[in-house]
Amino acid sequence: MSEPPGAAVSVTEAPPPTDVPSVPPAPQRVLPLRRPGRWIATAVVLVVAAQFVHGLATNPFYQWDRFGYWFLRPTVLDGLLITLEVTAYSAVLGLLGGILLALARLSKSPVLRAVSWTYVWALRSIPLIVVLLFLYNFSALYKTLSVGVPFGPAFFSFDESRLATDMAIAVIGLSLNEAAYAAEVVRGGILSVDQGQHEAAAALGLPKSYQFRRIVFPQALRSITPNYVNQLIGLVKSTSLVFYVSLLDLFGTVQSMGATYPGDIVPLLLVATVWYLTLTSAVSVVQFYVERYYARGATRSLPPTPLQKLRAGLTDLRARIRREAAV
Amino acid sequence: MTAAAVEVHGVHKWYGPHRVLDGVDLTVRPGEVTVILGPSGSGKSTLLRVVNHLEKPEIGHVSVNGELIGVRRQGGRLKELSERAILAQRGRIGFVFQNFNLFPHLTVLDNVAAAPVATGKLGKAAAQELARELLGRVGLGDKTGAYPRQLSGGQQQRVAIARALALRPGVILFDEPTSALDPELVGEVLAVIKDLATSGTTLVIVTHEIGFAREIADRVVFLDGGRVVEQGPPSEVLDRPRHERTRDFLSKVL
């Protein structure tokens, strides 16, 4: 310790503090800052929202009684089933196709890379409706579809027009389109996995397929899930295009019923809206739990479920009220 | 004549135009602990990664326990092996990374048990039993159900060592195993490595821990500019280095 000479002297010469109490006060509670602006903004938003809901409920334009009539009608439910079927098949086939395309794109073979790139480029460029109508008119281009050696003899063949039911056309068209987008989602997910994981798997001598299935892909799924769900929600709505290949999905049903009962067009559109909202919400709930599952190990503790969050919120609130009461 | 545990013969390695290894020769006898020292960029890590063929040498070859790694001799020439064959060879060489590289989505137990199951060496139950035993050996018998990110760096590296041991490798390579650790955690990892060294496992260790090298190494190899500058027992290389370059390096790190 080297103090400048005279330092101790100057301290003793400083005037004694006058306004500091000799006994330290008890620790005081810090009062939170009041935020009047936030309260005003909240009130404005609530009023606007209430007005909107009131209008929705009372405006005769929406014809809620007709909405009630149509909502669970068998024709509408049949359409909903078609929408669900087309979505489910296309989502699974699209994802599988996307995984294959992503693997091809990431492979060491320049031919596979080029084919994958070209496919994604083409299918992302062509509007879905064009793809669907193309397939719809396909039977005019190729009369029969055969399975066998390329350019060689066919093992068996079947008549295109029999195979090409409207459902198949819709699923194939949507899957082709979906695969192109899914390929990029999957590729992004695989690239997001740390290089060290590939190296560790290789250093342990894990077989190549095991490396992908058990090490790389499960980790990639963490970033694939939110992006693919985004894709999936787009897909649910894209299915409304299958109406143009004469498949009566939810939108198709609503559209044709609206043509038959022109007075009910608005409630019918509301029926479609509410069903699409329900489907999207269901997908979002599934997404939450899938993401939570793949977060194992990525975070120190799993994110809470909404129920757990609610319970924690209530506990917090109770503790706060008790604290306030104590003060 | 017993085969060398690791034999590196005239290895050259380029990254683009940059030459990382410039004709390295190295022999490690079975049961021996070899420590590789050298300034950063001297090719230490690359040399280690060439031994288990994570990096392919352009010239030269490596053999481990008498088996050529990554290549086979055919008609007097060296030909690259299939990926499957290389993966099988890696199962006989343990590798411990600087950044642990544990699989974050698997529990500690599954991290250790994965490789014996995936390579078909053990059934699932037997692999888990082995994993439990190895985790006990590195002092983590109570952490089997944890995920790697819930552990400290030192604990993660000990899991990584157990994972490498699960394949019962003839040789274990350590690439700066303590460089990513807080100083207070270095000791626990070095203790595990020391335990392996005294049990007669062949170890090749790249490290900057000179004191540790002096304590456990049978031989110290000093690498600079992709060449072996000098090698010998620690009492010679660390205490009476013959080369100017070695003296210079040691004066900076000691």
pLDDT band of residue B253 (cuts 50, 70, 90) is confident
CA nearest to B92, candidates B127, B116, B58: B116
Could you tell me which residue, A62 or A304, shows the higher pLDDT? A62
- Residue A111 pLDDT > 80, yes or no? yes
Which residues in chain A have Cβ-Cβ distances shorter than 8 Å to B115?
204-206
**Residue in B99, B115, B149 closest to A204 by CB:** B115
**Residue in A214, A294, A300 closest to B149 by CB:** A300
CB atoms A215 and B103 under 8 Å: yes
pLDDT digits (tens, 9 = 90+) for A41-83: 999 999 999 999 999 888 888 889 999 999 999 999 999 999 9
The alpha-carbon gap from A302 to the nearest alpha carbon of chain B, in Å, equals: 12
The alpha-carbon gap from B243 to the nearest alpha carbon of chain A, in Å, equals: 35
CA A136, A137, A141, A144 torsion-angle sign: positive
pLDDT digits (tens, 9 = 90+) for A155-202: 555 555 544 478 888 999 999 999 999 999 999 999 999 999 999 999
Burial class (CB in 10 A: 0-12, 13-18, 19+), A327: exposed
Whole-angstrom distance, CA of residue B8 vs CA of residue B25: 5
Question: In the prediction, which pLDDT does B32 show?
Answer: 94
Which residues in chain A have Cβ-Cβ distances shorter than 8 Å to B83?
208
Question: In the prediction, which pLDDT does A1 show?
Answer: 42
CB atoms A206 and B99 under 8 Å: no
Q: CB B75: neighbour CB atoms within 10 A?
A: 5
The alpha-carbon gap from A218 to the nearest alpha carbon of chain B, in Å, equals: 8
Alpha-carbon torsion angle B151, B152, B158, B163, nearest 10: 40
- Residue A141 pLDDT > 80, yes or no? no
- Residue A94 pLDDT > 60, yes or no? yes
By CA distance, what is B112's nearest residue in A? A204
Is the minimum CB–CB distance between B158 and chain A shorter than 8 Å? no
Which residues in chain B have Cβ-Cβ distances shorter than 8 Å to A196?
97, 99, 101
Question: In the prediction, which pLDDT does A149 show?
Answer: 58
How many Cβ pairs closer than 8 A exist between chain A and B? 76
Whole-angstrom distance, CA of residue B253 vs CA of residue B209: 9
Strand extents, DSSP E, A143-289: 144-148, 154-159
pTM of the model: 0.81
CB atoms A205 and B87 under 8 Å: yes
- Residue B137 pLDDT > 70, yes or no? yes
Strand extents, DSSP E, chain B: 6-15, 18-28, 33-37, 59-64, 67-68, 71-74, 77-80, 93-96, 171-175, 202-206, 219-224, 227-232
pLDDT digits (tens, 9 = 90+) for A230-250: 999 999 999 999 888 888 899
- Residue A22 pLDDT > 70, yes or no? no
pLDDT band of residue A303 (cuts 50, 70, 90) is confident
**Residue in A206, A219, A296 closest to B115 by CB:** A206
Question: In the prediction, which pLDDT does A143 show?
Answer: 56
Question: In the prediction, which pLDDT does A17 show?
Answer: 57
The alpha-carbon gap from B210 to the nearest alpha carbon of chain A, in Å, equals: 27
Which residue out of A192, A198, A204 would a mutagenesis test of the B interface target, given it has the greatest number of B Cβ atoms within 10 Å? Answer: A204
The alpha-carbon gap from A99 to the nearest alpha carbon of chain B, in Å, equals: 20
Mean pLDDT across A250-267? 92
Question: In the prediction, which pLDDT does A28 show?
Answer: 84
8-state DSSP, A28 = P
SS3 content of chain B, % helix, strand, coil (to 5): 35, 25, 35
Whole-angstrom distance, CA of residue B89 vs CA of residue B91: 5
Mean pLDDT across B146-167? 95
CB atoms A205 and B106 under 8 Å: no
The alpha-carbon gap from B95 to the nearest alpha carbon of chain A, in Å, equals: 6
At A82, list the tokens: 């078609």
CB atoms B101 and A205 under 8 Å: no
- Residue A12 pLDDT > 80, yes or no? no
By CA distance, what is A219's nearest residue in B? B105
Question: In the prediction, which pLDDT does B1 show?
Answer: 46
Whole-angstrom distance, CA of residue B51 vs CA of residue B63: 8
Question: In the prediction, which pLDDT does A6 show?
Answer: 45
Is the minimum CB–CB distance between B145 and chain A shorter than 8 Å? no
By CA distance, what is B90's nearest residue in A? A205
At A31, list the tokens: 């009062």
Alpha-carbon torsion angle A154, A160, A166, A168, nearest 10: 0
Question: In the prediction, which pLDDT does B46 show?
Answer: 95
Is the minimum CB–CB distance between B142 and chain A shorter than 8 Å? no
**Residue in A200, A297, A300 closest to B105 by CB:** A297
Which residues in chain A have Cβ-Cβ distances shorter than 8 Å to B150?
300
Mean residue pLDDT of chain A comes to: 85
- Residue A16 pLDDT > 60, yes or no? no
Q: CB B211: neighbour CB atoms within 10 A?
A: 10
- Residue A310 pLDDT > 80, yes or no? yes
Question: In the prediction, which pLDDT does A139 show?
Answer: 58
Residue found under tokens 């029999």: A162
Is the minimum CB–CB distance between A302 and chain B shorter than 8 Å? no
Mean pLDDT across B63-92? 92
The alpha-carbon gap from A215 to the nearest alpha carbon of chain B, in Å, equals: 7
At A46, list the tokens: 């609530």
Whole-angstrom distance, CA of residue A307 vs CA of residue A303: 11
Question: In the prediction, which pLDDT does A7 show?
Answer: 46
- Residue A3 pLDDT > 50, yes or no? no
Mean pLDDT across B73-85? 90
- State the first-to-last Cα distance of chain B, in angstroms, to the nearest integer: 39
Assess contact for A78 and A84: CB atoms under 8 A.
Answer: no
The single-letter code of the amino acid at A182 is A
CA nearest to B226, candidates B39, B96, B60: B39
Question: In the prediction, which pLDDT does B2 show?
Answer: 61
CB atoms B118 and A297 under 8 Å: no
CB atoms B101 and A298 under 8 Å: no
CB atoms B118 and A200 under 8 Å: no
Q: In angstroms, what CA-CA distances link B28 with A219, B12, B72?
A: 37, 18, 21
By CA distance, what is B50's nearest residue in A? A203
Report the alpha-carbon angle A251-A254-A257, nearest 5: 145
Whole-angstrom distance, CA of residue A54 vs CA of residue A48: 10
Whole-angstrom distance, CA of residue A137 vs CA of residue A129: 12
- Residue A324 pLDDT > 50, yes or no? yes
Q: How would you label A203-226 residue by residue, b for 16+ Cβ within 10 Å and e otherwise?
A: bbbbbeebbbebbbbbbbbbbbbe
Is the minimum CB–CB distance between B249 and chain A shorter than 8 Å? no
